[in-house]
Structure 1
Amino acid sequence: MKNLIRPAITLFILISLVTGLLYPLAVTGIAQIAFPEQAAGSLLKRGDEMIGSILIGQNFSEPTFFWSRPSATSPMPYNAANSGGSNLGPTNPALIKSVSERIQKLRASHPGKEDKIPTDLVTTSASGLDPHISPAAAYYQVERVAAARGIDVATVQSLVDRSIETPQWGIWGDSRVNVLRLNLALEELQK
């Protein structure tokens, strides 16, 4: 039995060092060299001020900004420490109630707008942190944002047009708009 314990402990220590220390350090080093922006969290700065990450949604609620997709994280929206969806099924009364409330809020914020509300403006994503909305969701909000900022609708629509990100390599994913980048571009437009 003693002949088995020493090799087992040695192998355990060796595997722990390789998988718990050497491998993570190697992967982190390669990521820092090959993808430095992404490895650092894809953070956006304005001067010395950190304003967010393009990978995590933010809670915009003022009428002067484009609104992100709703977040299901708690205790606050877009809480990266608590990523996760609501896991409520389509017939769950709580989900139906929350979607209905979001629809009412959107209708109240966009009076007279009879267009179909894009689904991503009233439903949460699986992570609860989605930083993107569909182009349709961005276009739905153009008139409200333009009116709240006192900007021509065509100017804001053009900004949305330029903010649309196409599917990766033209095949993976859908066209999308990063809300943080769009709102930053909107602020730059008014400077």
Structure 2
Amino acid sequence: MKKHILPAIKLTAVTILLFALLYPLAVWMIAQISPNKGKGDILIHHGKKYYSNIGQSFTNDEYFWSRPSAVAYNAAGSGGSNKGPSNEEYLLEVQERIDTFLLKNPAVRKEDIPVDIVTASGSGLDPNISIEAAKVQVKRISKIRAIEEPILEKLIADLTEQPLVGLFGPSKINVLKLNIALDEIQQN
């Protein structure tokens, strides 16, 4: 028994030291050299504080819509819906989003709707949409805000984030930053 208990106690002590002290300390130290000291990407707009790295709900017609969220954009409990493509309830929910999108964007055909504008991400907190998801909304926003389409297309191009090192992930656009820039264009 002594033969097994002593190594188990040592392993427990080493594991506690490694994962409860050293690992969190290393993560904290890396955060201290990152922008904003690991507190997230904070934007202040009209006196309100927003985290641009956490999805925000934008459903008003005069804004670019954000990606749907399975957790109502609650950062305290991220997660997907866990409903698969054969789940009837999930299919109805996606179809409802498609119908709403088509109603508000009559110039768009159903087959041209990017999947990320009608389905939630795995975390439910994705702050980005694809470039295609932004572009299919240009006509609606142009009409509502009386801003010429080329101006909106340039805004999208200017705010497009390229893949990491040009290789990892797709090009994307942060919806919060895009809508703040949209408001600034309107104010000028």
Q: TM-score by structure 2 length?
A: 0.86
Unpaired runs of 5+ in structure 1?
A: none
Tell me: CA distance 1:5–1:170, structure 2 relative to 1, closer, same or farther (3 Å).
Answer: closer
- Taking the aligned partners of 2:137 and 2:46, their CA distance within structure 1 comes to 29
Cα offsets for 1:80-99 (capped at 9, x unmatched): 11111112111211111011
- Letter of the aligned partner of 1:65 in structure 2? Y
Q: 2:56: which partner in 1?
A: 58
- Residues 53, 2 of structure 1: CA spacing in aligned structure 2 closer, same or farther, 3 A cutoff? same
CA-CA distance at 1:21 after TM superposition:
2.8
- What's the % identity of the aligned pairs? 46
Counterpart Cα distance in 2 of 1:11 and 1:141: 56
| Gap change, CA 1:18 and 1:91, over 3 Å in 2 | closer
Is 1:90–2:90 an aligned residue pair?
Answer: no
The change in CA–CA distance for 1:144 and 1:17 in structure 2 (over 3 A counts) is: same
In structure 2, which of residues 169, 172, 176 is the aligned counterpart of residue 176 of structure 1?
172
Q: C-alpha deviations, 1:66-122, integer Å up to 9, x for none?
A: 00111111xxx1111111111211121111101110111011111243361111111
Match of 1:190 in 2: 186
Matched, 1:42 2:37: no
Task: Work out the CA distance in 1 between the residues paired with 2:7 and 2:118.
Answer: 58
CA RMSD of superposed structures (Å): 2.4
Change (3 A) 1:2 1:97: closer
Number of residue pairs the alignment of both structures matches: 186
Q: Cα distance 1:30–1:165, how it changes in 2: closer, same or farther (>3 A)?
A: closer
Cα distance, 1:5 vs. partner? 7.2
Kindly state the Cα deviation for residue 16 of structure 1 after the two structures are TM-superposed: 2.9
In 2, the alpha carbon distance for the partners of 1:96 and 1:4 equals 54
The 1:18–1:117 alpha-carbon spacing in structure 2 relative to 1, beyond 3 Å, is: closer
Cα distance, 1:178–1:5 mapped onto 2, change above 3 Å = same
Runs of 4+ in 1 over 2 A off after TM superposition: 1-19, 45-49, 111-115
Q: Tell me the CA shift for residue 6 of structure 1.
A: 8.3
Q: Distance in 2 between matches of 1:29 and 1:65?
A: 38
> Does the alignment pair 1:151 with 2:147?
yes
| Other-structure match for 1:121 | 117
Whole-angstrom CA distance in 1 between matches of 2:122 and 2:14: 38
- Residue 156 (structure 1) shift: 1.1
1:69 aligned partner: 67
SS in 2 for 1:190: helix
How far, CA to CA, are the matches of 1:120 and 1:178 in structure 2?
13
- CA distance in 1 between counterparts of 2:116 and 2:23 reads 38
Residue identity in the other structure for 1:23: Y
Indicate the SS of the match to 1:166.
coil
Equivalent residue, structure 1, for 2:126: 130
